Amino acid sequence: MTLDDRVHALASLGLTPRQTRFITLVALHSGYCLRRQYLTFAGLRYGKNVREFLDGLVDRGLATRFAYRRDRGHLYHVCARSIYRAIDQEENRNRRHTSPALIARKLMVLDHVLRHPERDWYATEQDKVALFTERFGVPVGELPQRVYTAADGLAAPTIRYFVQKLPLYLEGAPPVVHLVYLVTDDTGRGFEQFLSDHARLLARLPAWTVDALGAGAVHGLPACHQVFEAFVAGATPSTGTQLADLQWFFETRRLVDGGQLGSLSVADLNRFRDARATFGAPAIASLYARWLLQGDAVFARAAVGASSLAARPGQLVTEQLAGQYEQFGELAGVV
């Protein structure tokens, strides 16, 4: 379903088109919203109509209202199952109540989305998988994913894609994928993991951009620049011995990822375990993703160094969000 399809599916709520679109965006990207976010989205000043809209959602059982601090406004949680069922998201976790830190993260993401309503946003797992497999021809196995095993060990494992649940959008002609990342630490480690998780997908795209968003008391955007430069550079080993070790590691990892453990000796597995610790940097994960597509030629290209970065398809854009989130604690959004 497109955003317009989902807005149309909620027409039975009897709200204005603008109110219906706002509720749809909240359900898809956050589940939670603040009064100021609706005012920004609608271009209104606070008054009777705004109050009646938000309080009406609560009176009709479509949302709940609560506050974390007496000197701050109310927080609204759009949680009615009927809304999520109508937009084909009945099991979406945005319906569930969660911790203050995670609520803050959701509000930060929603702030960014509402600032750019003209963008072609993709919020749900299903929409993202369809976008990359159908429009960009990316094999589903190359998408960022996590495998969850059943607690009883009887049911089949569940594969979830894009588990960070951050939005993405297309922009430009031809369209370029923009991944959104919310910065929640000053060290850049979270960003390293994000890039590593998406390395195989990014290697399949002709061009892409990561939008890193800083918010609240966390000031991690400078670290993100350093991490990104290392990621796109590839970090190729400098000596012939190191290069041979890396080639062996890539070839062995392909066997391990493919479940072909029977072709490896115990010594090979022990060596692979040690090599995985040595070559665990996100930059190596990026290089491995490209190696799967292009073979050993990637080593020569990566060795060119920083002078070739401008020609690479990946870009980083950083932005500091202006919203205030102190009501959720000193480190709002850090989970």
User: What is the rounded end-to-end Cα distance, in angstroms, of the chain?
Assistant: 31
Rounded CA separation 262/281 (Å): 27
In degrees, rounded to 5, the angle at the alpha carbon of residue 235 between the alpha carbons of residues 229 and 240 is 160
Q: pTM score, two decimals? A: 0.77
**CB within 8 A of 251, min separation 6: which ones?**
none
Domain ranges of the chain: 3-97, 99-235+281-335
Residue 115: pLDDT band with limits 50, 70, 90: very high
Secondary structure percentages of the chain, helix, strand, coil, to 5: 50, 15, 35
Residue 236 in tokens: 């190729």
Burial of 95 (0-12, 13-18, 19+ CB in 10 A): middle
**CB within 8 A of 269, min separation 6: which ones?**
261
Q: Does the pLDDT value for residue 148 go beyond 70?
A: yes
Strand, helix or coil for residue 76: strand
Rounded CA separation 76/66 (Å): 7
Q: Does the pLDDT value for residue 147 go beyond 90?
A: no
Q: Do residues 33 and 62 touch, judged by C-beta distance below 8 A?
A: no
Rounded CA separation 3/25 (Å): 8
Rounded CA separation 190/220 (Å): 10
Give me the pLDDT at residue 306, please.
Answer: 34
More confident residue, 172 or 334: 172
Residue 322: pLDDT band with limits 50, 70, 90: confident
Q: What are phi and psi of 318, to 5 degrees?
A: -115, 150
Give me the pLDDT at residue 294, please.
Answer: 79
Q: Do residues 106 and 30 touch, judged by C-beta distance below 8 A?
A: yes
51-76: pLDDT as tens digits: 899 999 999 999 999 987 776 778 99
Residue 307: pLDDT band with limits 50, 70, 90: very low
Query: For residue 320, what are the β-bridge partners?
Result: 214
**Percentage of residues in the chain with pLDDT exceeding 90?**
52
Q: What are phi and psi of 225, to 5 degrees?
A: -60, -45
More confident residue, 88 or 233: 88
Q: Which of 161, 292, 306, 291 is nearest to 229 (CA)?
A: 306
Burial state string for 241-258 with b = 16 or more CB within 10 A and e = fewer than 16: eeeebbeebbebbeeeee
Report CA torsion sign: 266, 271, 277, 282: negative
Mean of the per-residue pLDDT values for the chain?
86
Residue 244: pLDDT band with limits 50, 70, 90: confident
Lowest mean pLDDT among 188-202, 234-248, 256-270: 234-248
Q: Does the pLDDT value for residue 305 go beyond 50?
A: no
Q: Does the pLDDT value for residue 50 go beyond 60?
A: yes
Report CA torsion sign: 331, 332, 334, 335: positive
Q: Do residues 257 and 174 touch, judged by C-beta distance below 8 A?
A: no
Q: For domain 3-97, which architecture applies?
A: Orthogonal Bundle (1.10)
